[in-house]
Structure 1
Amino acid sequence: MAQITKNTDEQFPEDILFEIVSRLPAKSVGRFTTVSKSWYAFIRSPAFIARHLNRSIARNVVGDSSLYLLCMSKPFDEHKTCTLLCDNMISFDEVYDVELPIDFQSITCRLVGSCNGLVCLTDNHCDFHGRIIYVWNPLLRKFKFISTTCCCKRLYKKFTEVSVGFWYDGAKNDYKLIRIMYFEKVDFAGCDKEQYHVEVYSLNSGYWRKIDDAKLPGIIKCSHPAFVDGALIWRAGYSLESEIDTDFILSFDTRSELFQRMEFPDFQEYHSTQEVPYLVVYKGCLAFFVAPDCGAIGSDDWSIWVMKEFGVVESWVKEYSEETPQKAMWPLGFTQNNEILIDTTHGGIIAFNFETKQIRILQIYGYNLFWINYTESLVFLEKRSSLKGNRTCITHEKATG
């Protein structure tokens, strides 16, 4: 390859080279930036990065898995390692084991979301959640710190609760964040806009923008949103202390930037205070997983409800309901085999198949476990001179996997 690249323009037309290199693994392509200045500019161009990403996504669709388990080490370990495990239908293969190049005030972190090879993390502590945010590319060992404006710092003193979401805006080729701040106790029946604050961050511009006409119908009651049909989706209610039967689904359409309230189906077990609903994505549809409260005595039934047509309450269907031998702490997501990964009260991970009733006990351990859609990408190689208020850090840990 080194001999070919001495006279790349003479031996290979750029369009042919573009097609060849865009089909190679991201890890290999990233190393080619050291070949020469022309290769450096070629690979860092937004057009090439976009084409390479599209090809990587296409490969995942036709067979390669895009489902990964992100395992963080215990917070007080000497080295803050992060292991990325790929679901290959039989087992989970380690892809990376790198040192997390990010410091959080509370030592632990919380997943905001992931897309196109980028993972968004925030501090786990209530005082810093949504205020300390990093967007990280594990493959390239690069991250961006999302700055907080002076105005937002003042708002943090005013509001008590914060929720954050992360997504990719394909129309503008931009990565965005939403930050929702509000009081813990709000009367949403007569709520005025002074009781909450909604803003959107653009990675391209590097700025937070307030959504002045945002109408927030309730308080978000889960930290990590699901993403379906271009919408971020949370479980919500009128207050953090409300009974479970007052809960509803809050969606934020990332295209129109409007909030919408959707209802859960009317089903008996949901009204039991022993049951806890978790929103998940099942075969591309919005779904929720109902598991017995890990500390409750009573039913051990787990069930899955699926919204077959997004936004249509009448399309809720109860797919499965089974009694299981272990109580669930929380579900992580669905594997390629449609098994649901569950973090149990015993600290281990199990994979349960609702169709075959089989359980697999996985030898996977970690302090923070996050189930993500992940595609190796070169995002962050391109220059973004307009990124104001951010800092970019490149770490040099030895790559593995």
Structure 2
Amino acid sequence: MIYTVLPLSVRTVVSNDDLLNEILLRLPVISIVLFKLVSKRWLSLIKSPTFIRRRSRIPNIDTPSGLFIEHRLDTNVYGLVPLDIRIRSRLENTFKTGACIRSNAIVMQSCNGLFLCYVRPNHKFCIYNPTVNLFKMLPEPHYSEPEHHLFIKMAFDPTKSPYYKVMHATFINDYYPPESYRIQIYSSETGIWSNVYEHSGPFEGLVSAIYCNNAIHWINHGDNGKLHYKLDFVNTAVILTKIQLPVTVKRKRSCKLFESRGSLLLLGMDNTCSHDQLNVYKMGNRDSEWSLKYSVNKRRISLGGVWCIALGEREEDSFMVIELNGKVVLYNFVLKTFRALPEVQLMLSKIRFPLCNIFLLTASFASV
């Protein structure tokens, strides 16, 4: 057996808890989680409430480390497919939290490390952090009749605030399409629902809306796909803004919104080339105009076959997960390489119903 003798400087650091803590605090969250396996001492340091509290205050959004996939819709069983090669897959990863939500929770949204969940059969909502295995049941919203429920969305950006907000909307009347909506805001800072607004507008696309930069964004296909809408609810008032889509994007349901690392992204079919291609556009900081980020040959990729888009800390780490020739693969935008995700194929073989829920999992020490 060969033993490695560490240099004195390294032994000095790893034997000093204060120095080791300072080093660990500066690492990506997923690396910290994996370092729990180094030793019992490292596990104790990382699991300590003081360390978790300090790390949660560091404003950072890590690159997504996995896909959280619902693959048994009748029993709400989720599997974890790693995007980081250091993580093992879990094909039967049900919720590990308390009995009050175990096996009854449905993931509705993933937002920078936190999951917004719906808990049956009592029609409750909760926030769950799978990295640190913590959850919080939310108080019941006002006017929360299930038959009038339209949508609920969470807003959380640790680079802006340690607190999250949840937006809940219900129909005010029984007409379809509804003429107006009642919107309520929950804040984790105050712990209550407040700011009840009545709002009217083209909300038909809200069910598939996404959160980015203090607002909910969606494309209203009733406008022939010409506009995307921004509903700001994090600030003092609910404000609806119309934003023009890029002129080169084809209309009629040929575009889709994504969010990654605080950036709003638009995937759309380009109509200026002899052969259609998929373009990824990025919204500017002032939410005023789109700029072209990536172009992908569309001959083998359909718009509906794109599961998610993720921007890396480095350009060469940016990717999207797509269905390609009956397989699910990770495509790197810069390197133009494909990497198979066989674990997803295994899950797909077990599904008795069409796959409907896929969420990006980002490691986070955020409090709930």
Same fold (TM over 0.5): yes
- 2:330 corresponds, among 351, 356, 374, to 351
Q: What's the secondary structure of 2:155's corresponding residue?
A: strand
- Paired residues for 1:265-276 under 5 Å: 265-267=245-247, 269-271=249-251, 273=252, 275-276=253-254
Which residue identity lines up with residue 308 of structure 1 in the other structure? G
Matched-pair contact (CA < 8 Å) for 2:227–2:242: no
- 2:184 corresponds, among 199, 203, 225, to 199
What is the Cα deviation at residue 55 of structure 1? 5.4
- 1:49 corresponds, among 49, 52, 59, to 52
Q: Distance in 2 between matches of 1:247 and 1:144?
A: 36
Residue 144 (structure 2) aligns with: 153
What is the Cα deviation at residue 288 of structure 1? 0.6
What is the Cα deviation at residue 19 of structure 1? 4.6
Which residue identity lines up with residue 304 of structure 1 in the other structure? V
Query: Does residue 98 of structure 1 match 2:93?
Result: yes
- Closer/same/farther in 2, CA of residues 282 and 107 from structure 1, 3 Å limit: closer
Query: Does residue 305 of structure 1 match 2:281?
Result: yes
Q: Distance in 2 between matches of 1:110 and 1:51?
A: 27
What is the Cα deviation at residue 356 of structure 1? 5.3
Q: In the TM superposition, what whole-angstrom CA distance separates every residue of 1:162-202 from its partner, at most 9, and x where no partner exists?
A: 24233257776422211122365145xxxxxxx21111112
Q: What's the secondary structure of 2:245's corresponding residue?
A: coil
Matched-pair contact (CA < 8 Å) for 1:175–1:202: yes
Q: In the TM superposition, what whole-angstrom CA distance separates every residue of 1:110-134 from its partner, at most 9, and x where no partner exists?
A: 432323x4322236x9x99xx5422
Which residue identity lines up with residue 263 of structure 1 in the other structure? I
Unaligned 5+ segments in structure 2 are 1-14, 348-354
Q: In the TM superposition, what whole-angstrom CA distance separates every residue of 1:211-238 from its partner, at most 9, and x where no partner exists?
A: 34x655430515454443x32332143x
Q: Please, what TM-score do these two structures have when normalized by structure 1? A: 0.63
Matched-pair contact (CA < 8 Å) for 2:182–2:199: no
Query: Does residue 209 of structure 1 match 2:194?
Result: yes
- Closer/same/farther in 2, CA of residues 341 and 26 from structure 1, 3 Å limit: closer
- 2:110 corresponds, among 113, 123, 128, to 113
Matched-pair contact (CA < 8 Å) for 2:165–2:234: no
Unaligned 5+ segments in structure 1 are 1-11, 188-194, 293-298, 381-401
Identity, % of aligned pairs? 12
Q: What's the secondary structure of 1:179's corresponding residue?
A: strand
What is the Cα deviation at residue 374 of structure 1? 1.6
What is the Cα deviation at residue 14 of structure 1? 10
Q: What's the secondary structure of 2:244's corresponding residue?
A: coil
Matched-pair contact (CA < 8 Å) for 2:279–2:295: yes
What is the Cα deviation at residue 338 of structure 1? 2.2
Counting matched residue pairs gives: 323
Matched-pair contact (CA < 8 Å) for 2:131–2:363: no
- Paired residues for 1:2-401 under 5 Å: 19=22, 25=32, 28=36, 43-44=48-49, 48-54=51-57, 57=60, 60=62, 65-76=63-74, 81-88=77-84, 91=85, 93-94=87-88, 98-101=93-96, 109-115=106-112, 117-122=113-118, 132-149=124-141, 151-154=142-145, 156-157=146-147, 159=148, 161-168=150-157, 173-182=162-171, 184-187=176-179, 195-212=180-197, 215=199, 217-223=201-207, 225-228=209-212, 230-237=213-220, 242-245=222-225, 247-252=227-232, 254-267=234-247, 269-271=249-251, 273=252, 275-281=253-259, 284-290=262-268, 301-313=277-289, 315-317=290-292, 319-320=294-295, 322-329=297-304, 330-334=306-310, 336=312, 337-343=317-323, 346=326, 348-355=327-334, 357-365=336-344, 366=347, 367=355, 370-372=358-360, 374-377=362-365, 379=367
Q: Distance in 2 between matches of 1:168 and 1:318?
A: 22
- Closer/same/farther in 2, CA of residues 100 and 118 from structure 1, 3 Å limit: same
Q: What's the secondary structure of 1:352's corresponding residue?
A: strand
- Closer/same/farther in 2, CA of residues 302 and 20 from structure 1, 3 Å limit: closer
Q: Distance in 2 between matches of 1:352 and 1:22?
A: 31
**Greater relative contact order: 1 or 2 (C-alpha under 8 angstroms, separation 6 or more)?**
1
- Closer/same/farther in 2, CA of residues 376 and 235 from structure 1, 3 Å limit: closer
